[in-house]
Amino acid sequence: MTFYFYTVLFLLLLPLQASLLAPLSRIGLAPDLGLAVLYLIGILAGPVEGALAGVATGLLLDISSASLIGMSGLTRGIVGLAAGFLGTSILDTGSPSNMIFLAFFSFVEAFMTTLYLDATYGAFPLLSLFFGHILPRTAVTAITGYWLLRIALRKNVLGLIRRRELQKEL
Amino acid sequence: MSGFVDKNRKYLIVLAVFLLLFWLVTLQVKAGRFTLFERPVLAVSGFFERIITGIYNSGLSVVKRYVFLVRTERENSRLRDEVTRLRLENQITSELLAENERLREALAFQKEASRSGVTVHVIAKESSPASVTFTVNKGSLQGLDRDLPVVTPDGVVGKIQTVLPETAKIQLITDPGSIIAVRVQRNREEGLLEGKLDRCMLKYVSYYMDVQEGDLLVSSGLDGIYPKGMPVAIVTKVRKHEASSFQTVFAEPVVRFARLEEALVLKK
């Protein structure tokens, strides 16, 4: 059940992000839905599931865009792992501090990718990318992620999935 | 040792996956981008994208048609298409005129074969921290093929990277993997324009080459993909380094990708 749920979720995330949120990208305010959902999985399901979910979403993103296969898979895997460790350490999973953590992860992911591209291809306009793309996207992703986390906690989404899985096994 | 492995088996698997991905990325830097599972993933996402965009556009069009007069809207749409076509023709004609003048001076004449186009609508914009691509609503069934140039009346958008029967993925000229042969329109100096995510950079520009801010870069046609003379980018920054024999030249694409809704794919 969890596997099918994740597969459908990840495959739906791509078109949702690419088509429904595309109008928001005109004004540079499209959140990174994949990263927000990944953070949520990491916080709620733990580091290993977070890391594997990150690798899966990242690879799908790499395949559907023109970036090198594995680049987002790697960065998102690390984000999922870090979010998972964070989830096991913090007491209040619904705390607004999640916005800061998600913003930090989003920023680090984008910045590290840009640095890697700069090191590989050379002469990337880091400052303009930072202020024009990375910073606005980080802020919107953090707010969206926190909002999704609040909904997930209120509806106990992960609990429902797990419960059905256990019922099936029993 | 085996106790440590048993205890941390899951984390070791995750670490192995990370190392594998890092190795994959490093391989592609040299060998070029792999296209693993590209077609099935794009087929699934393209299917949902067409449904979502269809629903979104239908909703939008219902509202529009009730608010505005139906006839006016249709006429407007037809005229807009006409203007788009005429602007594109005008752009090509201006460049051909300039070219004609130069060729007359050299007493040589050259005729470029005209290319037919397919109008495509953008149905999705995929963006990752490392790249930005667009998906359009037409594919191989409509005669689209890999590496065909995508343009608008304003200038070059990019080229087709992957084609499926009913959708296609466009690699924008700002994508880090994109390289296009260009020429400075003012003085015909040549260069290679490489994508840098939010802008482009003119590569291998020698220290003594005459490039100025505001210069229009047009496609030179030397890459065999883009038609000659299409506007590509405008030079926004020129930096000369005393220690280097090259100058750094950044350019902004003439097409505003954030507002791009439809484009023309030029067939061979």
Radius of gyration (C-alpha) of chain A in whole angstroms = 16
DSSP letters of A41-85? HHHHH-HHHHHHHHHHHHHHHHHHSSSPTTHHHHHHHHHHHHHHH
User: Per-residue pLDDT for A21 more than 80?
Assistant: no
Report CB contact under 8 Å: A14, B25. no
Residues of B whose CB is below 8 A from A77: 14, 17-18, 21
What is the DSSP code (8-state) at residue B215? P
ipTM tops the 0.85 cut: no
Q: Identify the pLDDT of residue A70.
A: 87
B 206-225: CB under 8 A from A:
none
Residues of B whose CB is below 8 A from A81: 14
Which CATH number covers residue A53?
1.10.1760
The CATH number for B38-173+257-266, chosen from 1.50.10.100, 2.40.10.340, 3.40.50.2300, 3.40.50.720, is: 2.40.10.340
Report CB contact under 8 Å: A133, B198. yes
Residues of B whose CB is below 8 A from A117: 130, 176, 197
Report CB contact under 8 Å: B41, A63. yes
Chain B residue with CA closest to A35: the answer is: B128
Q: Identify the pLDDT of residue B68.
A: 67
User: Per-residue pLDDT for B104 more than 70?
Assistant: no
pLDDT per residue as tens digits for the range A78-101: 999 999 998 888 767 778 888 999
Which candidate from B36, B123, B169 shows the least CB-CB separation from A69? B36
Tokens of B198: 């939010």
Backbone phi, then psi, for B144, in 5-degree steps? Answer: -80, 150
Report CB contact under 8 Å: A60, B201. no
What is the DSSP code (8-state) at residue B246? E
Which candidate from B17, B28, B169 shows the least CB-CB separation from A69? B28
The total number of structural domains in chain A stands at 1
Q: Which domain holds residue A99?
A: 2-169
E strands in chain B: 117-128, 131-136, 149-151, 156-163, 168-172, 179-184, 190-195, 200-206, 216-219, 231-240, 246-253, 262-266
Mean pLDDT score, A140-160: 82
Q: What is the CATH number of domain B179-253?
A: 2.40.10.350
State the Cα torsion A113-A115-A118-A119 to the nearest 10°.
Answer: -110
Q: Are B217 and B95 in contact (CB under 8 A)?
A: no
pLDDT per residue as tens digits for the range B18-74: 999 988 888 887 777 777 677 777 777 777 777 777 777 777 777 776 776 677 877
Chain A residue with CA closest to B261: the answer is: A23
Is B126 or B160 the better-scoring residue by pLDDT? B160
pTM of the entire structure? Answer: 0.71
Q: Identify the pLDDT of residue A88.
A: 85
State the Cα torsion B63-B67-B72-B78 to the nearest 10°.
Answer: -20
Report CB contact under 8 Å: A18, B21. no
Span of A68-77, B68-77, B248-257 with lowest mean pLDDT: B68-77
B 14-73: CB under 8 A from A:
14, 17-18, 20-22, 24-25, 28-29, 33-34, 36-38, 41-42, 44-46, 48-49, 51-53, 56
Q: Are A87 and A50 in contact (CB under 8 A)?
A: yes
Report CB contact under 8 Å: A128, B199. yes
Q: Identify the pLDDT of residue B110.
A: 38
Q: B57-65 contacts: CB < 8 A, separation 24 or more? A: none
In 3D space, the residue among A63, A48, A67, A46 whose CA is nearest the CA of residue A10 turns out to be: A63
In angstroms, rounded to a whole number, what is the distance separating the alpha carbons of residues B198 and A154? Answer: 39
What is the DSSP code (8-state) at residue B165? S
Instruction: Work out the widest C-alpha separation in chain B, in whole angstroms.
Output: 84
Tokens of A45: 């399901």
In angstroms, rounded to a whole number, what is the distance separating the alpha carbons of residues B202 and B219? Answer: 12
Alpha-carbon distances of B267 from A9, B56, B151, B219, rounded to whole Å:
37, 29, 11, 17
B 249-268: CB under 8 A from A:
250, 258-259
Interface test with A, best of B10, B15, B21 (most A CBs within 10 A): B21
What is the DSSP code (8-state) at residue B222? T
Tokens of B142: 């409509």
In angstroms, rounded to a whole number, what is the distance separating the alpha carbons of residues B36 and A34? Answer: 20
Residues of A whose CB is below 8 A from B10: 48
In 3D space, the residue among B232, B178, B176, B185 whose CA is nearest the CA of residue B211 turns out to be: B185
Scan for tokens 């997930």, then name that residue: A152
Mean pLDDT score, B247-258: 89
Mean pLDDT score, A61-82: 87
Scan for tokens 């794919």, then name that residue: B265
In angstroms, rounded to a whole number, what is the distance separating the alpha carbons of residues A161 and B240? Answer: 59
Q: Reduce the secondary structure of B126-138 to three states and give it as a string.
A: EEECCEEEEEECC
Q: Identify the pLDDT of residue B30.
A: 75
